[in-house]
Amino acid sequence: MQHENSTESSARAFQAAVEMLAASRRRGHLRGRARVRPAEGRLGLTGGDEQHLMTAGLQRRASTGSVPADLALIRRLASDEHDTFARVVGRAFGVPDEAVARVWTADVLANPLIGTYVAETTSGLVVAAGAGLLTQNQLGLANVGTLPEYRGQGYARVLTEAVLRRAKAAGAHTAYLHASDDTVPFFERLGFVARTGWTMLRAA
């Protein structure tokens, strides 16, 4: 089956994902959407960093490398583990944990269409994290990052591949994300293609 794999369709899915994230954060995922302010205002986000919108089809995907020797598992976080996600993403991106926690709340993690995932070592250390949002049969990847001292060992790659597999099993046909100049090569190795420049929202 052929699916639309365009900048426009992924942009629409992104907007839907932002709306879903905002609604989950503000009121809980069973309570419907808030309609008073734009989604970015409800999320406490402001524009501006220029990012590359990248997309990839989820058909016929294969692993692109080996698994780190001390990787124990990739797992989805429970809603009461939102602080773990904030801590790892905060360190990975060099931002305060509180800035991450304002967006990725317990209500957000409780939404079945929004998954936050971590890579754990055999010693129980969480070394990488990332999120996936399912809307309109597309997966939006966000905040994929690794603790600085564990970069270059394959943790983020294995985590991303696991999230893509789960999304495909859930019915998604395309994945999209926003990448900086530094991370474009990483995602290209995973089969993503840059489509256009994009203004990425960030925590205010």
Tokens of 104: 């990725």
**Average confidence (pLDDT) over 183-189:** 95
Residue 183 has pLDDT above 70, yes or no: yes
Confidence of residue 38 (pLDDT cuts 50, 70, 90): very low
The predicted pLDDT at position 61 comes to: 78
Residue 16 has pLDDT above 90, yes or no: no
Tokens of 3: 């699916």
Residue 1 to residues 34, 35, 168, 173: CA-CA distances in angstroms?
Answer: 35, 36, 14, 10
Confidence of residue 33 (pLDDT cuts 50, 70, 90): very low
Read off the DSSP letter of residue 6. Answer: S
pTM of the model: 0.82
Starting at the earlier edge strand, list the strands of the sheet with 174-179: 71-76, 114-121, 126-135, 138-146, 174-179, 45-57, 193-203
What are 53's strand-pairing partners? 178, 196
Residue 169 has pLDDT above 80, yes or no: yes
Find, among 192, 193, 136, 175, the residue nearest to 58 by Cα. Answer: 175
Residue 111 has pLDDT above 90, yes or no: yes
Confidence of residue 195 (pLDDT cuts 50, 70, 90): confident
Opening angle at CA 105, ends 44 and 21, nearest 5 = 60
Distance CA 36, CA 34 (A): 6
Find, among 167, 178, 169, 110, the residue nearest to 138 by Cα. Answer: 167
The predicted pLDDT at position 34 comes to: 37
**Average confidence (pLDDT) over 186-201:** 80
Opening angle at CA 46, ends 151 and 177, nearest 5 = 45
Find, among 173, 149, 172, 147, the residue nearest to 159 by Cα. Answer: 147
Residue 37 has pLDDT above 50, yes or no: no
Of residues 158 and 30, more confidently modeled: 158
Looking at residue 35, its amino acid is R
Residue 149 has pLDDT above 50, yes or no: yes
